[in-house]
Amino acid sequence: SQQGEEDPQALSIQEGENATMNCSYKTSINNLQWYRQNSGRGLVHLILIRSNEREKHSGRLRVTLDTSKKSSSLLITASRAADTASYFCATDAGSGNTGKLIFGQGTTLQVKP
Amino acid sequence: GAVVSQHPSRVICKSGTSVKIECRSLDFQATTMFWYRQFPKQSLMLMATSNEGSKATYEQGVEKDKFLINHASLTLSTLTVTSAHPEDSSFYICSARFLQDKNTEAFFGQGTRLTVV
């Protein structure tokens, strides 16, 4: 089952520009995580934000979380061609400690050199 | 970070045969692993939670007799697609998490591209 929506579904920008992706979810969460996937590969963890946090930074990444709106955003600043990939948010809905992560639809980012 | 190794990366099989996919945690003991399925240009759909030493927990709509999961050791979970058909062709990905702390990341295998002909 899908937890929610991500938008945009696809994003194409020039190198150096910022990229913003949004994620909405439906249930209460322990945390929300962002992952990156290069075509045909596994997923790589980017950043985790806990339900009691509102903003988090990691290098060129900035993640916000609004639990009242059940939404999160991922900002990639000063994008590079190597940032071209699909980006997914995932929520740990966490009733019990099943550890399940439910993924959003994903945003495909293309960064043009 | 921890390493999860998935094998094979690609497999082509004939319709009606079975295919086994292995997922190994190389440097930690994974009591719980997760299997996902991903169609082209789509998101990951959770298929099941693999529990070491006990039965897997399947998500709604996933046929447990079709997708057999075995988690016989703390470092290995296997997914067997039985009597495969072309509609089973997909990208299958496993993951593992430390569940002692709820705020932990998941580590993913490289994925297996299954093509049933």
Select the residue of A94, A97, A100 nearest B46 (Cβ to Cβ). Answer: A100
Using an 8 Å Cβ cutoff, are B81 and B88 in contact? Answer: yes
Neighbours of B53 (CB within 10 A): 9
Could A104 and B43 be called an inter-chain contact, meaning their C-beta atoms sit closer than 8 Å? Answer: yes
Closest Cα in chain B, distance from residue A18 (Å)? 23
From B34, B41, B104, residue closest to A100, measured CB to CB: B34
CA B103 to chain centre: 22
- DSSP β-ladder status, A31-37 and A85-92: antiparallel
For residue range B7-27, what is the model confidence (pLDDT) as tens digits? 999 999 999 999 999 999 988
Residue position matching structure tokens 């719980």? B32
How many CA within 13 A on the CB side of residue B32?
15
Asked if B103's CB is within 8 angstroms of A106's CB, the reply is no
What does the mean pLDDT of chain B come to? 92
CA pair distance B1, B23, nearest whole angstrom: 16
Nearest CA in chain A to B1: A45
For residue A1, what pLDDT is reported?
44
| Angle of CA points A12, A17, A20, to nearest 5° | 65
- Residue B32 with chain A: CB contacts under 8 Å: 98-99
Q: Tally Cβ neighbours within 10 Å of residue B35.
A: 27
Residue type for A91, please? Answer: T
Could you tell me which chain A residue has the CA closest to the CA of B106? Answer: A45
Q: Which token pair is A43?
A: 């997923």
Question: Could A44 and B46 be called an inter-chain contact, meaning their C-beta atoms sit closer than 8 Å?
Answer: no
Structure confidence at residue B28 (pLDDT): 80
* Distances from the Cα of B11 to the Cα of A42, B39, B67, angstroms: 16, 16, 16
What mean pLDDT is predicted for residues B85-108? 90
Contacts of B41 in chain A (CB under 8 A): 108
Per-residue pLDDT, B29: 83
Separation of alpha carbons B106 and B94, rounded Å: 10
**Tens of pLDDT, residues A49-70:** 999 999 999 999 999 999 999 9
